[in-house]
A and B are shown apart, each in its own frame.
Chain A
Amino acid sequence: MAKVSLKINGKEISQDVPDSVMLSDFLRDYLSLTGTHVGCDTSQCGACVVHLDGNSVKSCTALVADCNKSEIVTIEGLAKNGKMHPMQEAFKKHHGLQCGFCTPGMVMSAVDLLQKNKDPSEQQIRDWLEGNICRCTGYQGIVAAVKDASSKM
């Protein structure tokens, strides 16, 4: 058992958690933040991506005990005062989602890309999103959304 103190979507949380609990399970099962999804068991699909101290990570392979004293932002923490983040708006505008399952991870990865590269080329966007699998969209709407959001962030 580990005692972890975290700031999640701006809110301080302190809790005892078994050592083996993954960040994704902690978010989903302990905090009911079910926007973070688990789509695979090999850290490949990216549906579980959240921001850990400002960087995108796959939360299905991060032990929550290792995240002590970190700041975490999940998909639920992106919209502010009921207004969606420019990336969320861009995904809507460009039909960057269909079934919505990969979407939270995809959006969190895309936001992190623009934190690191304000004006990525199409190829840079495609390369960055290589760790997020989408089965529905063929990625075209997603890439268009990221490109559009880059002009607005």
Chain B
Amino acid sequence: MADLIGSKIERKEDRKFLTGKGRYTADINLPRQTYAYFVRSPHARAKITKVDHSKAMKAPGVIDVFTGDCVVKDKVGGLICGWKIVSQDGKDMKCPPHPVLAKDSVNFVGDHVAVVVAETLEQAKNAAELVNVSYKIQKAVIKTEEATSFENIHEGIDNNLSFDFLLGDKGKTNEAFSKADKIVKLDVVNNRLIPNAMEPRAAIGDYNASSDELTLYTASQNPHLDRLIMSAFNAVHPEHKFRIVAPDVGGGFGSKINVYAEDVVVAYASKKIGRPVKWVAERSESFMSDNHGRDHVTHAELALNSDSKIIGLKVDTIANLGAYSLVLAAVTPTYLYAPLLLGIYDIPTACCTVKGVYTNTAPTDAYRGAGRPEATYVIERIVTEAAKEIGMDQAEFRKKNFIKKFPHQQCLVHNIDSGNYDAHLDKAIELSDYKNFENRRSQSAKKGKLRGIGFSTYFEACGVAPSAVVMSIGAGVGLWESAEIRFNPTGNVSVFTGTHSHGQGHDTTFAQIVGDKLGVAIENIDIVHGDTDKGPFGMGTYGSRSLAVGGTAIVNACDKIIAKGKKVAAKMLEGKPEDIDFKGGEFILKNSNKKKTIGEVAFACYLPGTFGDVKSPLPEGVEPGLIETSFFDPSNFSFPSGSHICEVEIDKETGETKLVKYTVVDDFGTVINPLVVEGQVYGGVAQGVGQALYENAHYDESGQLTSASYMDYTMPRADNFPQIKIDYTCTPATSNPLGAKGCGEAGTIAAPAAVMNAVIDAVGTDVQMPATAEKVWKALKKNGSKKAAA
């Protein structure tokens, strides 16, 4: 069984998805179900002067219409920011009220104003057109860099500034800069993205008046957290009478962490009308109202000494929070971002400021990588520019500045337990045939193409997170994880995890861990998640935490099972517990050939009387049953790292960029299932390439989202990619017994910088993301005219 860890095992969950038997929220239909359709703001900023729903109430099939007045009357709480940041002046960040249905004002296109509940979806949609909302339109602020000089969009929040965050030592950093031999400066924009999980969000509220139980089916990454928030803050229903089911979920990428207005409203509406209420987002609603990601404007400076060593880093960022502050909106551009700006370099001093600003755009929050792609982009772009400016090879400059000894306490926050950065860069250099790059560049030039190469050597902090650490910096909850192992009498095993799989393959990977630990065939192990009524409270899946934190809880629960099993086996084998070894699913009495399988021991635990040749197997004081629970709180974050090398070819005539070669070498620590891990990396890289070359959430000056469909928002497609080469190095994590570091976001974190460094190398001048054909063409034209003038 030992070879289960590290094996390319095909996924257990695939068959249902491949045969059309997946069960997503939209696939669920309940008896007496009704349909909800939301009335949304068509304006980016307006005062609501009147909501008249009298006509809609009379429309065919309409059961009820709920407005902002209703939720105020029924004391339904607003949406919350779950992790509050303190500004450098010691003051708490400012959060505007965020009602689930707007009553007085709307603050972005798509903001929820009312909901119509009807017998059919068509009737709900038609009646929604009859809800007459009177608006007094106001001028909106859209651009990140204009927010602080615009009039206040929320009462009491001056300069639209939520927080002014500082991390690092300003004095020491200024001193380092004053002694620098070279200062490299860079301005970068981190474009606004829309997560675009392929399953649009959906929710069904189902209130049972007989039992006073409320069930919410919702596409969520963290059903227990949703229930906690909706009970404690939205006051929808008491936690012990409230069940949340997140069934099959079609991708999350951070966009399904939040409790959304629609979740609260369908739950509330179901209680009001006493029937199930179903809502499924249309894609255009997803574009408008799912949380967006990134949207930073940054100025960075890097100080070097005469020996080409980095001696200091200064970064100033404005982060666009959008119209309100969502659950992780504030931590994403601060603690998940600023500490990561140091990259994998030994930088003695740094300081970073982040201004979090409100604008009349969709709220931003975690999107795959959350803060870390933004940080990696800044440091990997400026390190690249530094190497260029001093005329040093990209790889050589990086290696010269890499952290070499571990554990390494960085000057900002993190204490990196393990790593070997030279190892993955060397391997990537070899695998990508870096030494012959200039030949390839010449060959491309012969075809009239500009070829460029880009490096991105990244690290990330994942395995979120040590609860004491995160709660000391504002997290509203701890970030431990739970697991429960239930050995059933017949010997198969149900494993309950507080994490949630929405594509990550937990059903297989976690079964491999349990199979390895307990010696049970993975066919006989069922991984259960996504239902608050089934397993213990868990924190969910995000931040590449599931294996490092949730997987460790599973390991610990397995250890408890083995410990109890030894006591029982000792009695059965007439020995002492300390003389029992457990190996390959068998309890063996030392220095004898006496043994019992774990299945026999489990069976005995449930039948503590006399049966067959077994007589009362339970020792005194040992309870019947074989169920163990573990809650694991990690001692540290985990720190995956790696090297990406990207090559692009650019068509001089059209400005079109083609990805022609992409190499990845990652250090994820222990890999449980390479098939699953490779999938995470391919997908992550594709999203990172999407950010660099294609994707951009665009609002016009009035605040209309002009990229609200797949006709306008460019998703990466199959024909945008070459084969991506992947390899690994391994330094195990020391903060969990698996040695696992996490792999879910790495591709998205590293790729934008690798791609853009390659584009900029080819073009020869700065280009901001996304490097669309138009932007590249303009940059080339500008270059050409400069050269002609010279």
Once bound together, how far apart are the Cα atoms of A34 and B19, in whole Å?
Answer: 11
Residues 17-38 of A contacting B (Cβ, < 8 Å): 28-29, 33-38
Q: Does B250 contact A (CB under 8 A)?
A: yes
Residues 1-34 of B contacting A (Cβ, < 8 Å): 10-11, 13-24, 26-27, 29
- Check if A75 sits within 8 Å of B198, measured CB to CB: no
Q: Does B166 contact A (CB under 8 A)?
A: no
Q: Which residues of B contact A140 (CB under 8 A)?
A: 678, 682, 721, 723-724
Q: Is the interface of A mostly helix, strand, loop or mixed?
A: loop
CB-defined interface of A89-117 with B at 8 Å, one 1/0 digit per residue?
00111010111111110010000000000
Q: Does A135 contact B (CB under 8 A)?
A: yes
Q: Is the interface of B mostly helix, strand, loop or mixed?
A: loop
- Check if A135 sits within 8 Å of B718, measured CB to CB: no
Given A45-B198, A127-B719, A103-B685 contact (CB < 8 Å): no
Q: Does B446 contact A (CB under 8 A)?
A: no
Q: Does A137 contact B (CB under 8 A)?
A: yes
CB-defined interface of B219-256 with A at 8 Å, one 1/0 digit per residue?
00000000000000000000000000000111101000
Shortest Cβ gap from B558 to chain A (Å): 26
- Check if A130 sits within 8 Å of B718, measured CB to CB: yes
Q: Which residues of B contact A74 (CB under 8 A)?
A: 20
Q: Does B334 contact A (CB under 8 A)?
A: no
- Check if B721 sits within 8 Å of A99, measured CB to CB: no
Q: Does B283 contact A (CB under 8 A)?
A: yes
What interface size band does chain B fall in?
A: 35 or more
Q: Does B505 contact A (CB under 8 A)?
A: yes
Shortest Cβ gap from B509 to chain A (Å): 12
Q: Does B739 contact A (CB under 8 A)?
A: no
Given A92-B15, A130-B718, A101-B710 contact (CB < 8 Å): no
Residues 136-153 of A contacting B (Cβ, < 8 Å): 136-143
Given A98-B503, A99-B198, A133-B715 contact (CB < 8 Å): yes
Contact of A99 among B199, B675, B711 (CB under 8 A): B199
Once bound together, how far apart are the Cα atoms of A36 and B284, in whole Å?
Answer: 20
Contact of B19 among A28, A38, A79 (CB under 8 A): A79
Shortest Cβ gap from A12 to chain B (Å): 20
Given A100-B503, A137-B679, A141-B682, A39-B283 contact (CB < 8 Å): yes
Once bound together, how far apart are the Cα atoms of A93 and B588, in whole Å?
Answer: 37
Q: Which residues of A contact B684 (CB under 8 A)?
A: 138
Shortest Cβ gap from B276 to chain A (Å): 15
Binding site for B on A (CB under 8 A): 28-29, 33-42, 44-45, 47, 74-76, 78-79, 84, 88, 91-93, 95, 97-104, 107, 122-123, 125-127, 129-130, 132-143
Binding site for A on B (CB under 8 A): 10-11, 13-24, 26-27, 29, 196-200, 248-251, 253, 282-284, 502-505, 675-676, 678-679, 681-687, 709-711, 715-719, 721, 723-724, 747
18 new A-B contacts at CB < 8 Å, known A78-B19, A134-B198: A35-B19, A35-B20, A44-B709, A47-B198, A74-B20, A92-B14, A93-B10, A99-B199, A99-B503, A100-B16, A100-B22, A100-B248, A104-B20, A129-B719, A133-B717, A135-B251, A138-B747, A139-B682
Q: Can you list the 10 inter-chain pairs with the closest CB atoms, starting with the nearest?
A: A35-B20, A100-B17, A101-B250, A99-B503, A138-B686, A138-B682, A98-B503, A44-B710, A75-B20, A34-B27
**What are 10 A-to-B residue pairs whose CB atoms are below 8 Å?**
A35-B19, A36-B20, A76-B21, A92-B11, A95-B675, A99-B198, A132-B718, A138-B679, A140-B724, A143-B718
